[in-house]
Structure formats: structure tokens, C-alpha cells
Amino acid sequence: MNKSTILIIVYIAGLVFGALVLDLWSANTSPKALIGIIWTAFLLVGLFLVEKDERQ
């Protein structure tokens, strides 16, 4: 399995966990919603590093 595929699976699992357990996408907007944005930023940085590693 590709490193990027594993990274995306972990990302999706984290989003599901955040949606169901942490209730990130509730009607109330709070600083808690920034967790989803930070999680997405981690995904983008991780994908960048994985692709950079695979090119070398």
C-alpha cells in the first residue's frame, strides 16, 4: 500500500472520529472547529512530504 494512501485513510478516520465523537460539525461554531482545519493542514503537509520523499 502506498504511503499517501495510508495517510489519506488516517485522515478520513480522524475526520469520522471528529465528527462522531468530538461533534466538530455541530451548529455551534467554536474554537473546537479549528481542529478540522488543523487536521486538514496536517494532511496537506504530510502529502507534500510523502510526495517529496517518493520523488527522490
| Dihedral over alpha carbons 41, 27, 14, 4 (to 10 degrees) | -40
Looking up cell 479549528 gives 34
Q: pLDDT (tens digit, 9 = 90+) per residue, 1-20?
A: 888 899 999 999 998 988 88
Q: What is the pLDDT of residue 2?
A: 87
Q: pLDDT (tens digit, 9 = 90+) per residue, 27-45?
A: 676 777 788 889 899 999 9
